[in-house]
Structure 1
Amino acid sequence: MASAASAPPAPSVVVDDHSLSRVPASARYGWFQVAVQRFGQISALSQFLLGATLGFGMGFWQAFWAITLGAVILEIVSVFVGIIGMREGLNTSVIARWTGFGKAGSALVGLAIGLSLIGWFGIQSGVSAAGLVAILPILPAWAWSLVFGLLVTAIVLRGFHSMQWLANVTVPLFLILVGWAVTVELSQHSIAELAAKAPAGPELSFVAGTTLVAGGFIVGAVITPDMTRFNRSVGDVVKQTALGVTLGEYVIGLAGVLLAHAVGSSDITRVITSSVGWVGILVILLGTFKINDWNIYSSSLGVTNFIDVVFGRKVNRGVVTLVLGVVGSVLAAVGFLDAFTPFLIVLGVVFPPIAGIMVAEYFVVKRWRRELSESEGLPATSPTWVPATLVIWAVAALVGYFVAVGIPSINSVVIAFVLYVIAGKAGWVRGVGVSRTEQAPAAVGDGTTSEAPAAAPAPAPAP
Structure 2
Amino acid sequence: MGGNEEQVKGKTTTEVARTGRGRAPSTAGGKGDDPSPQGRGGTEGSNRRGKRGSVTEQVSLFERVPASERLAWPDIAAILSGVVSSLSKLMGGGIVAFYAGCQMGGVTVAITFVLSFFLTYLVGKICYREGLSNNVVSRYYIFGKKGSAAGSLIWIFVIVGVLAVGTVQLGNAILFAFGWEGEAVRWALFICISCVWVVMALFGTKIIARMNAVFVVALFCVMGYVIYLIAADGQLVDAATHGILIPGVQPLEGFAYSVNYAIMTSGLMALFAADFTRFARKERDIAPVAATGSLFAIITYICGALVVYYGFDKSVAYFSAQGMDPLLAANAAVTNPGVSLVLAAGGVGLAIICLSQMKVETSNSIGGANAVSNLVHSLFGRKLPWAAAVVGANAIGLAFILGNILDQVNAFMSYGSILTSSWCILLITDYYIVRGKMGIGKVGIDMEAPEKAVHWRGVGTIAFVTVVGSALYATGMVGVPFLVVAPLTMVVYIAVSWLLRDKVRSGEIG
TM-score category (smaller protein): 0.7 to 0.9
CA distance 1:262–1:278, change in 2 (3 Å): closer
Q: 1:113 aligns with which of 140, 155, 173?
A: 155
Kindly state the Cα deviation for residue 368 of structure 1 after the two structures are TM-superposed: 4.0
For the 8 Å contact 1:71–1:246, the answer to whether it is kept is: yes
What corresponds to 2:28 in structure 1? none
1:377-436 residue CA offsets vs partner (Å, 9 max, x unmatched): x1412222222323311221123323344632353233212321232233359569xxxx
Asked if the contact 1:59–1:195 (Cα under 8 Å) also holds between the matched residues in 2, the reply is: no
- Distance in structure 2 (CA, Å) of the matches to 1:53 and 1:96: 31
Aligned to 1:323: 388
Q: Which residue of 1 aligns with 2:92?
A: 50
Q: Whole-Å Cα distance in 2 between the matches of residues 159 and 368 of structure 1?
A: 42
- Distance in 1, Cα, partners of 2:344 & 2:235: 17
Residue 277 of structure 1: how far off its partner (Å):
1.6
Q: 1:409 to 1:182 in 2, by over 3 A?
A: same
Counterpart check, 1:295 vs 2:364? yes
2 CA distance for matches of 1:13 and 1:371? 25
Q: Does the Cα contact within 8 Å between 1:98 and 1:369 map onto a contact in 2?
A: no
Compared CA separation, residues 84 and 166, structure 1 to 2 (3 A)? farther
Give the 3-state SS of the residue equivalent to 2:451 in structure 1.
Answer: strand
Deviations 1:51-106 (CA, angstroms, capped at 9, x unpaired) = 22222234423212211112211221122111112221222222123222222211
Give the direction of change, closer, same or farther, for the CA distance of 1:263–1:16 in structure 2 (3 Å limit). Answer: same
Q: Structure 1 405/370 Cα, relative in aligned 2: closer, same or farther at 3 Å?
A: same
Amino acid at match of 1:174: L
Query: In the alignment, is residue 82 of structure 1 matched against residue 124 of structure 2?
Result: yes
State yes or no: 1:175 paired with 2:220: yes
Q: Does 1:32 align with 2:97?
A: no
CA contact (8 A) 1:388 1:428 kept: no
The one-letter code matched in structure 2 to 1:224 is A
| CA distances 1:152-203 after superposition (whole Å, capped 9, x unpaired) | 4454447987664242231122211221233223321243344344443344
TM-score where L is the length of structure 2: 0.72
Asked if structure 1 preserves the Cα contact closer than 8 Å seen for 2:160 and 2:396, the reply is no
Corresponding residue for residue 253 of structure 1: 301
Asked whether the 8 Å contact 1:152–1:293 carries over to 2, the reply is: yes
Once the two structures are TM-superposed, the CA of residue 45 in structure 1 deviates from its matched residue by 0.9
- For 1:51, give the aligned amino acid: G
Gaps (5+ residues) in structure 2? Answer: 1-9, 20-48, 314-329
Cα deviation, residue 358, structure 1: 1.0
In the alignment, does 2:348 pair up with 1:279? yes
Give the structure-1-normalised TM-score.
0.78
Q: CA deviation at 1:42?
A: 1.7
Q: Please state whether the residue corresponding to 1:224 is helix, strand or coil.
A: helix
State the distance in 1 between where 2:208 and 2:73 align.
15
Match of 1:191 in 2: 236
- SS of match in other structure, 1:56: helix
Structure 1 counterpart of 2:391, which letter? V
Aligned residue among 251, 254, 258 for 1:204 = 251
The answer to whether the 8 A contact 1:215-1:409 is kept is no
Describe the shift of the 1:301–1:410 C-alpha distance in structure 2 as closer, same or farther (beyond 3 A).
farther
Q: Deviations over 1:243-290 (max 9, x none)?
A: 1122222x2211233345556656244333222222332343244333
Code of the residue aligned with 2:469 in structure 1: it is: G
Aligned mates of 2:174, 2:149 — CA distance in 1: 37
Cα distance change, pair 236–72 in 1 and its aligned pair in 2 (3 A): same
Please give the per-residue CA displacement for 1:307-352, whole angstroms capped at 9, x wherever unaligned.
Answer: 443333456xxx52x323334446667x773217369665663332
Which amino acid in the other structure matches residue 82 of structure 2? G
**Which residue does 1:442 correspond to in 2?**
none
Q: Following TM superposition, by how much is the alpha carbon of 1:242 offset from its aligned partner in structure 2, in angstroms? A: 1.0
Counterpart Cα distance in 1 of 2:76 and 2:389: 24
- Give the whole-Å Cα distance in 2 for the aligned partners of 1:109 and 1:230: 22
Instruction: Provide the C-alpha distance between the structure 2 equivalents of 1:207 and 1:344, rounded to a whole number of angstroms.
Output: 14
1:238 aligns with one of 287, 312, 316: 287
The structure whose residues are more often helix, as a share, is 2
CA distance in 1, matches of 2:220, 2:127: 29
**Residue 213 of structure 1, aligned match among 253, 262, 265:** 262
Distance 1:125 1:210, change over 3 A: closer
Give the letter aligned to residue 121 of structure 1: L
Kept after mapping to 2: 8 A contact 1:60/1:195: yes
Equivalent in 269, 274, 284 of residue 225 of structure 1 = 274
Q: Which moved more, 1:52-61 or 1:260-269?
A: 260-269
Which residue is 1:67 aligned to? 109
Q: Distance in 2 between matches of 1:361 and 1:215?
A: 21
- Pair 390,431 (structure 1): closer, same or farther in 2 beyond 3 Å: farther
* Residue number in structure 1 paired with 2:143: 101
Does structure 2 retain, via aligned residues, the 8 Å contact 1:393–1:416?
yes
State how far apart, in whole Å, the 1-side matches of 2:307 and 2:166 are. Answer: 22
Contact 1:131–1:285, Cα closer than 8 Å, also in 2: no
Structure 1 vs Structure 2 CA RMSD = 3.7
Q: Which has the higher contact order (CA 8 A, sep 6+)?
A: 1
Structure 1 distance, partners of 2:60, 2:392, is 23
Q: Distance in 2 between matches of 1:160 and 1:368?
A: 39
Distance, in Å, in 2 between the alignment partners of 1:220 and 1:174 is: 20
CA distance in 2, matches of 1:353, 1:199: 30
Match of 1:445 in 2: none
The alignment covers a number of residue pairs equal to 427
1:419 is the counterpart of 2:492: yes
Contact 1:105-1:384 at 8 Å conserved across structures: yes
Aligned counterparts of 1:299 and 1:330: Cα–Cα separation in 2? 11
- Secondary structure, counterpart of 2:452 in structure 1: strand
Q: Give the alignment of 1:116-155 within 5 angstroms.
A: 116-132=158-174, 144-145=189-190, 148-155=193-200
